[in-house]
Amino acid sequence: MSKKGRPTDDPKTLNTRVRFSEEDIRRLEFCCEKTGMKKSEIIRLGIKEVYNKLKK
């Protein structure tokens, strides 16, 4: 069976489950509307921001 989707250098093969409050979802959706980014992209960006602050 052939692989589907676009080839990538950073495949997203792992899943995780997160619980959000209604306010968190409103904020996330606001960020998505303003940036045009997907929810997963916004979440990854937030993780990278916290990670970079902690690495300093």
| pLDDT higher than threshold 80 for residue 6 | no
| pLDDT higher than threshold 70 for residue 1 | no
- Measuring CA to CA, how many Å separate 33 from each of 15, 36, 37, 53? 24, 5, 8, 26
Question: What are the sequence ranges of the domains in the chain?
Answer: 22-55
Q: Largest Cα–Cα distance of the chain, in whole Å?
A: 45
pTM for this prediction: 0.80
Mean pLDDT value across the chain: 93
The residue with greater pLDDT, 30 or 1, is 30
| pLDDT higher than threshold 90 for residue 49 | yes
Whether the Cβ atoms of residue 32 and residue 39 lie closer than 8 Å to each other: yes
| pLDDT higher than threshold 90 for residue 17 | yes
What distance in Å separates the CA atoms of residue 33 and residue 16, rounded to the nearest whole number?
23
E strand map for 1-56: none
Q: Which two tokens stand for residue 18?
A: 């997160």
